[in-house]
């Protein structure tokens, strides 16, 4: 048999084995240290986006003071839900109205026109849904629902209102470094109170919310985009008034 060029393999002795193990364990320790030193901060950085540290309560108040003013905001919206497992995007659009009554009270009205008509009103009392096609109107009182259901259904209300006190209490708020847009990242302080892991909010030049991107469990996302907005009540068809009245 020609053994030229072949590698001769011999089993190490016990002493060699232990020295090899030692070397291996040293190597592992070094690799592990590198992992902790380099990768983890990077991962954490990547997970929270390119952000500065959390804002202080004073900074939050300064950034979102505007949202406490009573008034109307209405316009068009686009909504997109990405369900990663199913590789599906659910798109809908229509008109909206946000009515701010004061620092902690607000209501939101969605008049979904596409793909099919559906009206939703959410306020601090409950949720009303009206399906004009089936004629079905459902009402849910928020105080009847569990805390997690309550939080899940009213999250949009919380995220478009941006009450500074609520933000300070419930979220770690960080400002994005991106200078072209004013955007913030909100991470719930207590996971049980919110059914999402993180939210990105973009404000327009009037400091109103123009975009919301919610990161849910399982990498699903829900995005809202507001455009053609003004500070007037929504002008809507007579047929849609029933639900809108419940929001006012």
Tell me the closest approach of the beta carbon of residue 246 to other proteins, in angstroms. 18
Number of residues that bind other proteins (CB under 8 A): 38
Nearer to other proteins, 155 or 168 (CB): 155
Asked whether the beta carbons of 174 and 55 are under 8 A apart, the reply is yes
State which of residues 6, 14, 146, 205 lies at the interface with other proteins (CB under 8 A).
Answer: 146
Q: Is the dihedral of CA 89, 94, 100, 106 positive or negative?
A: negative
Q: Does an H or E element contain 201, and which? A: strand 196-203
Tell me the closest approach of the beta carbon of residue 87 to other proteins, in angstroms. 7
112 binds other proteins (CB under 8 A): yes
Tell me the closest approach of the beta carbon of residue 202 to other proteins, in angstroms. 20
State which of residues 48, 83, 193, 202 lies at the interface with other proteins (CB under 8 A).
Answer: 83
53 binds other proteins (CB under 8 A): no
Stretch of 43-51, 109-117, 167-175, 238-246 contacting other proteins, by CB under 8 A:
109-117
> Locate tokens 């770690």: which residue?
172
Nearer to other proteins, 184 or 196 (CB): 196
Mask for 113-142, x = binds other proteins (CB under 8 A): --xx-x-x--------x-x-xx---x--x-
Asked whether the beta carbons of 180 and 155 are under 8 A apart, the reply is no
- Written as six digits, the tokens of 63 are 């950034």
Mask for 180-209, x = binds other proteins (CB under 8 A): ---------------xx-------------
Asked whether the beta carbons of 138 and 147 are under 8 A apart, the reply is no
Question: Could you tell me the CA-to-CA distances from 241 to 97, 133, 157, 248 in Å, in that order?
Answer: 12, 16, 20, 10
* Nearest of 197, 199, 221 to residue 88 by alpha carbon: 221
153 binds other proteins (CB under 8 A): yes
Q: Is the peptide bond before 118 cis (omega within 30 degrees of 0)?
A: no
Burial call 179-216: b when 16+ CB within 10 Å, e when fewer: eeebbbbbbbeeeebbbbebbbbbbeeeebbbbbbbbb
- List residues near other proteins by CB under 8 A: 79, 81, 83, 86-90, 92, 112, 115-116, 118, 120, 129, 131, 133-134, 138, 141, 143-150, 152-153, 156, 195-196, 216-218, 220, 222
């Amino acid at each position: 048999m020609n053994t030229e060029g072949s590698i001769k393999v011999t089993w190490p002795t016990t002493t060699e084995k232990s020295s090899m193990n030692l070397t291996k364990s040293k190597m592992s320790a070094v690799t592990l240290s590198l992992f902790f030193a380099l990768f983890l901060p990077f991962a954490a950085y990547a997970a929270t986006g390119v952000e500065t540290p959390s804002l202080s309560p004073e900074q939050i108040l300064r950034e979102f003071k505007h949202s406490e003013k009573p008034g109307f905001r209405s316009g068009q919206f686009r909504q997109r839900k990405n369900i990663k497992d199913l590789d599906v995007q659910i798109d809908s659009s229509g008109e909206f109205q946000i009515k701010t009554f004061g620092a902690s009270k607000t209501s939101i009205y969605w008049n979904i026109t596409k793909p099919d008509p559906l009206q939703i009103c959410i306020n601090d009392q409950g949720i009303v849904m009206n399906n004009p096609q089936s004629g079905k109107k459902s009402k849910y009182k928020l105080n009847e629902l569990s805390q997690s259901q309550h939080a899940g259904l009213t999250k949009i209300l919380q995220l478009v209102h941006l009450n500074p006190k609520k933000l300070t209490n419930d979220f770690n708020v960080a400002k994005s470094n991106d200078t072209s847009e004013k955007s913030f990242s909100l991470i719930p302080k207590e996971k049980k109170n919110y059914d999402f892991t993180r939210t990105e909010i973009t404000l327009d030049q009037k400091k109103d919310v123009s975009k919301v991107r919610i990161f849910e469990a399982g990498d699903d996302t829900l995005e809202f985009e507001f455009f053609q907005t003004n500070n007037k009540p929504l002008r809507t068809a007579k047929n849609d008034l029933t639900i809108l009245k419940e929001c006012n």
